[in-house]
Chains A and B, each alone.
Chain A
Amino acid sequence: MDILIVILFAITLLYFSITERFRIYTNLVCFQGFLLFALALFELKALTIGNFLFVSSETLIFKGIAVPFLLYKIINKTGEERVHVKALPGLFSLIFVSIGLLLSIIIAYSLKTRLGNITYFIVSFFALYTGLFLITSHKKIFSHLIGFLVIENAVFLFSLTIGNEMPMLINIAILLDIFASILILGIFAMRLKQHTDDLTMLKDE
């Protein structure tokens, strides 16, 4: 069952590359949060209550609900619905991301890791690649935010690869990262909007 979740995760990453609407990005981020929650439940067999609360709050509450909620807020406030006109066309990003998929499997296999599940390893590499790709190929700051969240998910997935002994510290760090980034960016995006028209863009043209 866990393999199905990882596959779905990989397919959402492919979907990230072709979609052009911020609402779909947000839905995908939300969906990934739920997937990660399910995956964590499957993978972390010996969950203590504290650990369970922590993981569920991190994946379900934050990644699955709070962050998408915030993102929706930003979309509604700024009225930015789509990626920049000059962003890379979907077809090419799809091809690049597919190449990334192949690259990540080659890398993961060359490393020949003894660390747990290789499928997780590949997909987390792939997520890392996709996140970086989203950031480099898009122009609007919203897409960069999404890329950042995808990278966060990649790190989470990577920590799952290690298995049960997920250090609490990493978890907290990830959580704080998300928290800070979303809050700051959300505030920025909403504040800046009031003064000029198009400041959700990182650079002009």
Chain B
Amino acid sequence: MSLFDLRLQEIHNKLSAKELSVTDLVSEAYGRIAKTEDQVKAYLTLDEERARAHAKLLDEQLMTDAPRGLLFGLPAGIKDNIVTEGLRTTCASQFLSNYDPIYDATVVQKLKKAQSVTLGKLNMDEFAMGGSNENSSFYPTRNPWNLEYVPGGSSGGSAAAVAAGEAYFTLGSDTGGSIRQPASYCGVVGLKPTYGLVSRFGLVAFASSLDQIGPITKNVEDSAYVLQAIAGYDNMDSTSANVEIPDYISALNGDIKGLRIGVPKEYLGQGIDPKVKESVLAALKVLESLGATWDEVSLPHTDYAVATYYLLASSEASSNLARFDGVRYGVRAENPDNLIDMYVKSRSQGFGDEVKRRIMLGTYALSSGYYDAYYLKAQKVRTLIKQDFDQVFANYDVIIGPTAPTTAFPIGSQVDDPLTMYLNDIVTIPVSLAGVPAISVPCGLADGLPVGLQIIGKAFDEATVLRVAHAYEQNTEHHKLRPQL
């Protein structure tokens, strides 16, 4: 048995038939971690003792008729910017290296209610700022397909853990593509839900108007199960959407006859690797063979999205990160001259380069005299980008393109060039600015590295996104490819 090989539904059948115990599942996961983690470095903190105790409790429940949670017994990893009571949460920052949360994030409460088992906390770019995982202040995670390459970011640990078989599923967070891009680089399935569908309560805020938690899984069906468990209104999050949650699992019926697909010409144009483009066009052929039709469409403001995003995300980050002052939690600098000096020293010692860079950019963009030129201007362009999507969705059910312009790149190759690194997110960022849902599913390999297909839907239409992704997956073999570790 391997976590690689079974779908959630198959595991549940085996648990019911007593062919498998939750302890077996958890042992399998930690066994795999023991074998591959030295190479992959996906985790920051493991929680083995509590996970095993939890498994034992669930095994006792297996002996009774008690109803079982949707994710019963499944071993999961959680990105380290989602707080977990009594389990260190660091955001991969030295600033929070000693932080012991006093409550569980809403998504963690929901996973517990669904009876999943938490294995540990996953590596990331510091405060979710980065596209490669090289900005972790502890160590970089490596891509399981090629250990010299990045896994993507900022949920690189979450994607690499699933790809390496070190977790059954994981949670990541996506601000400008941080679930989809690492899922693409690591050959797994990553879903960014509609903004507001999943509670952000307990997610350490980076850019509050964009951040969204979502699942990373091996296949689309499992993604639907995890989303089902974590979606829903939360009165602890004032941006939470009070909408009815559909049955995502029964939406996976394979039927996409008559589906109308828009393919933005901007997503297959300049800057997109020809091999990535080839994989996407091949995927469109598969969808056509299932009865869908596609047309070239235009999202004319795509070219402005990256600039818009970095102004808005950095502005929000500079504000959100003001709370890290060394007073109530985190690491406080020693021997300050006075209170202000304590703030300054604690922040300067605690934050890494990328975090400082974005705080500086955001503080500048929000400062007196520049607010209108940068922040307000970007919010107006955001409206234009959102309108691009509204116009295409008036005539099409989904928008399809690549998840990233290229496959994963070698570790260290872009660290001195933040702007180039930012451009890796050129096809995920517009979706985040518009707030709509999107999934990345594997659609082939280019030079031995995974390529991701991005399927974008209307706001709160995750059911269609998942249905299309599932229909594609059921008619291809790409999601079954595994890295050799």
Partners in one complex: no
Chain B interface residues toward A at CB < 8 A: none
